[in-house]
Amino acid sequence: MSFQDKVVLVTGGSSGIGAAIAIKFAEEGAKVAIVGRNQEKLNDVAKKCGNPLVIQADVTKDEDIKRIVNETVKNFGQIDVLVNNAGIVQIASIEAENAIEVFDKVMSTNLRSVVYLTNLAVPHLKKTKGNIINISSIAGIRVLSKEGFCYDTSKAGLDHFTRSIALELASSGVRVNVINPGPVKTDIMSNMGTPKEMENVILKNMQGMTALGRISGPKPLLVHHL
């Protein structure tokens, strides 16, 4: 399949899986819009993407989501592929005083932002008979650790959201798919302030749950996106 001159919008594109996706699409000839909060990291990724549109934005803010879609369409004239990749990981006990605060923060980033961005992008995707790719997690299918209910619930919700809109949009020629990676070594936890020692413990526990007993990197996932 050729992606020459296709317009691909990637959230969470400043690092990890999102950065790898943006770079690969650019290598395949696509016009890429990269969204993230960290301008310096976005600039680093942009250097590997030819001449991308770089959008510094926070997907938990409605005005930023509107700006993401508007700037992409203004710059490229269309959207062919939407990759909803932005996400955070935070843990909390259901008994913790801040349980609802953490839950709201995770759901806002991992699920609500996807719903709203998709809502605004779909009219453009219908015109191109485009594609939506939602990056979920194995955590949406099985519980990997204690005190992970916020993240697990957000990803399970993302999975079912994907199925629902896939059914709704099929008749319009828009394909919607979800990818549920196992443990992937990225900086998602360090970005949220997780101590390195705790991060290593979490990754080690997850590694023991995989069939091959190892943690993946972002690049092996790319074949599923293209």
- Is the predicted pLDDT of residue 191 greater than 90, yes or no? no
- Is the predicted pLDDT of residue 199 greater than 80, yes or no? no
Residue of higher predicted confidence among 178 and 210: 178
Q: What is the pLDDT of residue 79?
A: 99
Active site residues: 151
Q: What is the pLDDT of residue 145?
A: 77
Architecture per CATH, domain 7-224, reads as 3-Layer(aba) Sandwich (3.40)
- Judged by DSSP in three states, 15 sits in coil
- Is the predicted pLDDT of residue 47 greater than 70, yes or no? yes
Residue of higher predicted confidence among 174 and 181: 174
**27 CA to centre of own chain:** 19
Sign of CA dihedral 84, 225, 53, 216: positive
Q: What is the pLDDT of residue 184?
A: 55
Number of neighbouring beta carbons within 10 Å of residue 48: 14
pTM of the model: 0.85
